[in-house]
């Protein structure tokens, strides 16, 4: 019976890892549909290469930073079959690594959308290695690994530890606030704003590709949230229901506030899902609906402020979507997770506030540090000629539709 339970948990977490891995296709196509046609190939290549680099960085460095575990032992030890092995039998710890890797690799996938159309390829690859190997797992270990005693201190001081069940802060806010530093250091796309301050509109290249990206992310998100339980015994239908209601809230509010704009609507679904990650295990579905709806409004309002008033050229709006909606979700867990508002309790508002703000501040500092150093040493931006030609031809020497592009006119 024990072996059957272990095998079931291995399969459960493996399916979760596969679902979250599939979300990376969603990141890719969301970016493909948003950027201009001359940058679509670059979007696809960046996401898959970043995943590969993330795997190596997390395998050799990052997982050890977060959890003090390394894999430089025999396969028999890793599989748990060797006598005295510290690893769980049937490779549970290995599929857990795969699952958590897909979370870690989401950080550069998030950043990719903000810096699209003008970032150098190889310096971004270097940034990915540093972020996934060191920056991200340091905070991940504090929250999910219990490192440095922050969770114990919050529990002693406020009656509950910082609750971030599926990563509103650890994954999304960290990714979004790192991206903000990168976007500011990279600067605006050439021609995005005129010398007299007018905004030059850059419409999405393909609404169908953008919509496909959103759908893939939404489907995979139920693996992201529900399977964060990491065992069949711990799985909760409440997490699934809360994720569903938050997604719906984000869609409908973005529909209204965004005035029927399809880009806002499809990103509104993601805003709701980002926000519900932290408290999906403790909130009431109606609370999740409200949290998701608020996130939909946050995304639309702050995307417009970034682009039109503050001149922050965040191409996919990853700071409003992941950074701000993630921050809202972490704090909202401390409100709507309370028993007085229909939640399960076991959360403290001050713990949520401190943990959320600390994650955002840490990530912003990390973003400026990593991209600032790379900008100083190697440069992080394409030349004006390369940017005008497009990242596809400048970097990859081929466009999204090479046959039609080569045809005689």
The two tokens of residue 5 are 């339970």
Is the pLDDT at 377 greater than 60? The verdict is yes
Residue with tokens 């970032």: 119
Q: What is the mean pLDDT of the chain?
A: 96
Strand-pairing partners, residue 180, are none
Q: What is the DSSP string of 247-273?
A: HHHHHHHHHHHTTT-HHHHHHHHHHHH
| Element housing 120 (H / E) | none
How many angstroms separate the CA atoms of 154 and 251, rounded?
Answer: 34
Is the pLDDT at 394 greater than 80? The verdict is yes
Q: Which of 287, 299, 297, 293 is nearest to 335 (CA)?
A: 287
Which pLDDT tens digit goes with each residue over 143-159?
999 999 999 999 999 99
pLDDT band at 409 (very low <50, low <70, confident <90, very high): very low
Q: What is the DSSP string of 295-359?
A: HHHHHHHHHHIIIIIS----TT-HIIIIIIHHHHHHHHHHHHTSGGGTS-----HHHHHHHHHHH
Q: What is the pLDDT of residue 4?
A: 80
User: In Å, what is the CA distance from 214 to each residue of 25, 51, 210, 328?
Assistant: 10, 19, 6, 21
Q: What is the pLDDT of residue 1?
A: 66
How many angstroms separate the CA atoms of 366 and 241, rounded?
Answer: 34
Q: What is the pLDDT of residue 89?
A: 86
Collapsing DSSP to helix, strand or coil, 135 comes out as helix
Which pLDDT tens digit goes with each residue over 187-219?
999 999 998 889 999 999 999 999 999 999 999
Which pLDDT tens digit goes with each residue over 20-39?
999 999 999 999 999 999 99
From 79-93, 278-292, 299-313, the region with the lowest mean pLDDT: 79-93
Is the pLDDT at 81 greater than 70? The verdict is yes
pLDDT band at 407 (very low <50, low <70, confident <90, very high): low
């Amino acid at each position: 019976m024990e072996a059957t339970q272990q095998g079931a948990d291995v399969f459960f977490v493996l399916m979760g890892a596969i679902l979250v891995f599939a979300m990376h296709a969603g990141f890719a196509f969301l970016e493909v549909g948003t950027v201009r046609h001359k940058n679509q190939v670059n979007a696809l290549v960046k996401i898959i290469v970043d995943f590969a680099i993330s795997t190596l960085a997390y395998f050799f460095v990052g997982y050890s930073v977060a959890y003090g575990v390394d894999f430089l032992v025999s396969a028999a030890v890793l599989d748990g079959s060797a006598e005295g092995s510290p690893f769980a039998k049937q490779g549970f710890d290995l599929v857990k690594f795969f699952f958590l890797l897909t979370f870690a690799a989401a950080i550069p996938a998030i950043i990719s959308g903000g810096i699209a159309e003008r970032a150098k390829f190889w310096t971004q690859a270097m940034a990915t290695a540093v972020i996934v190997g060191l920056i991200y797992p340091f905070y991940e270990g504090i929250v999910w690994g219990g490192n440095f005693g922050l969770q114990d201190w919050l529990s002693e001081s406020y009656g509950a530890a910082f609750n971030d069940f599926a990563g509103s802060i650890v994954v999304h806010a960290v990714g979004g606030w790192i991206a903000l530093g990168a976007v500011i250091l990279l600067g605006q796309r050439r021609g995005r704003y005129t010398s007299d301050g007018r905004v030059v509109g850059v419409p999405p290249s393909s609404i169908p590709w953008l919509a496909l990206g959103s759908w893939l992310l939404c489907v995979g998100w139920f693996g992201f949230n529900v399977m964060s339980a990491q065992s069949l015994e711990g799985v909760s239908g409440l997490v699934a229901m809360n994720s569903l209601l938050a997604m719906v809230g984000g869609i409908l509010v973005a529909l209204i506030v965004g005035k029927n704009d399809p880009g806002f609507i499809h990103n509104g679904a993601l805003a709701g899902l980002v926000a519900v990650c932290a408290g999906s295990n403790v909130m009431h579905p109606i609370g999740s609906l409200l949290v998701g709806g608020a996130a939909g409004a946050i995304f639309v309002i702050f995307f417009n402020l970034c682009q039109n008033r503050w001149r922050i050229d965040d191409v996919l709006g990853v700071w409003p979507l992941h950074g701000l909606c993630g921050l809202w979700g972490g704090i909202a867990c401390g409100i709507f997770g309370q028993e007085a508002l229909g939640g399960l309790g076991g959360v403290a508002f001050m713990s949520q506030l401190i943990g959320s703000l600390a994650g955002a501040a840490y990530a912003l500092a990390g973003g400026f540090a990593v991209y600032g150093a790379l900008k100083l040493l190697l440069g992080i931006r394409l030349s004006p000629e390369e940017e005008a030609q497009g990242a596809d031809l400048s970097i990859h020497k081929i466009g999204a539709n090479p046959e039609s592009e080569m045809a005689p006119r």
